Structure 1
Amino acid sequence: DLKEAKHSINMEYYIFRYDDLGKRIIDILIKKAKNGVEVNVIIDEAGGADRKMIKLMRDNNINVEIFFPSPFAFFKIANLRANYRDHRKLCLIDSKLGYIGGFNIGLEYLSKGKLGHWRDTGVRVFGEAVLELEKEFFFSWGIAKKKPVVYQPKEYAFEHEAFQEIIKTRGKYSGYSQVVSSGPNYQFKTMRDTFLKIILEAKKYIYIQTPYFVPDDTILEALKIAALSGVKIKIMIPDKPDHFFIYWVNQYFVGELLDLGVTVYRYHKGFLHSKMVLADDEVVSIGTANFDNRSFYQNFEININIYEKDIAEKFREIFYDDMKTSSKLLRSEYSKRGFYIKSKESICRLLAPIL
């Protein structure tokens, strides 16, 4: 899709590695910029923005902005806004189609990193929702440039193509969608409240995939109420963590739900980075938000909610397929944890609000 771009490419990533994958993408961006395509790239400072890579892009007419950079090149923690990160992953092409999900730019996302197999989820969006994603991109662009960008509303120019796609697939993988963005600039915790609404309105089941299960008290109580109301809840977390603290705090919180009939799976095939909330074959939320305090309260995040039975069923099938390479966390097994493990979980629980 990048190679087919004719007018614009807008990319926003928490991590953009200068590795073999990053270099291949940059080569495409440079060729497109030389052919008159406007290329805008946002990279978060905390994700590791390689200075050589940035210079290469800027020298080749690619517009690059670093999100909340530190004034000290080698001391990023000195950044007073270090807690507020641009955790979004977006790639938008020609105001026509876009990509959103958990994938950053880097070889580890192709299962070529130290964690081995990488299980992630993304969505290719083709339709009017692309304009909403684009509007959110330019909001971030204004923050990065320290100059608000006025985004002019526009008509979606590819409506006919989108309808043809719907007709071709007989209604599959289409339907109503809703872009949900969040960040410290919002008065309300929109991402947290979106998940809360999905949980509270579920009647049959809730499936959650997340690398970080660190819910706040409100979300945790909502899950407990749903479970006690007969809603079948399945939660899938990694068995192989990317951060030591996260593993133990994950264990602590899922343990609170086991007695209520919630089923917890630990994914064994590799690292689970997928961020998905699915309910009742009616709605699935996919994007960048983890199920944790940082995504709820601090990071700039973006998800797309899709209200379409066919898509919900597809993601349910994917979840079941992941269960084949996961193990169920049994209450009998969990209760046998020793004092040392319980102590680590309790200590990590205290750190949960800042993880």
Structure 2
Amino acid sequence: MKYLVTGAAGFIGFHLARRLCADGHQVVGIDNLNDYYEVSLKEARLARLQPLPGFRFERIDLADREAMAAFFTRESASERFDRVIHLGAQAGVRYSLDNPFAYADSNLTGALTVLEGCRHHEVQHLIYASSSSVYGLNEQMPFKTSDGVDHPVSLYAASKKANELMAHSYSHLYGLPTTGLRFFTVYGPWGRPDMALFKFVRAILAGEPIDIYNQGQLSRDFTHVDDIIEGIVRVADRPPQANPAWHGQTDSSSAPYRLLNIGNGSPVRLLDFVEAIEAALGKPAIRNLLPMQPGDVLATWADTESLFEVTGYKPRVELSAGVASFVAWYRDYYRV
């Protein structure tokens, strides 16, 4: 099949494009290579994708409406996309506190250009990245896609909730099959430098303190990138169907629309996460315990039953093995 992967130079997009090429698909990757974090890491990911059979890259900003419309038209003139996997977005919760308009441009306008491209060029299935952050102030554990998500605690979370609503409107109006995947704290090799694992490993190796918020009294459903990729690939071949018996459920619809969690299904205390990193590095951390930060939530925990019902897959990478895989990559990439 022919796939479009947005955010192909990003953490998850890189792994996904590599997997799809290995499976024999054509993959067109787009990214704007912004400087939210070190561009050299994005370029290094691309350098490993460029030689792969079936892969092609174009540098495009999702928020550039004219460029995106022309891109879809140009691609469809030869062979239209069978699947679009939309991972490109402005990431980060804390960054949204100081740079709100970056989220409007990338996460709202950018999502709309993708939806419009899919609508006008008969894409069979749009899969897009949502986030566990949409659960916001929800206190029901584990988080289910049937839970209400109307109380986000960051603009990033609100933009991801908006993506889900935008997708539903296109599923309803134009019959575009859409699946939103709520990712839970993704980690692994080639990860983002703004994420806790990356920052902790870098600081511990440098002998610097690590900042641990809410005195370490947080827990996260850490999900290895290999599990995320397996979930995406399986979901891609299972477009949602309209539910004729729909009566107001939030995670399905009378339109071809669906929401799924992809998480490990087992939350880990932040302090236990730090201990796993210390074990993988063979070096203790200097811990700087801090108060709760604006935009953070106390805990995340994914209910993954719906994912299993749709795909037959349950995430399986254990935390210790997943952290070790990142540490091995980090030491090799940075020669430390």
Give the TM-score, by structure 2 length: 0.28
Q: Flag the structure with larger Rg.
A: 1
More helix by share: 2
Larger strand share, 1 or 2: 1
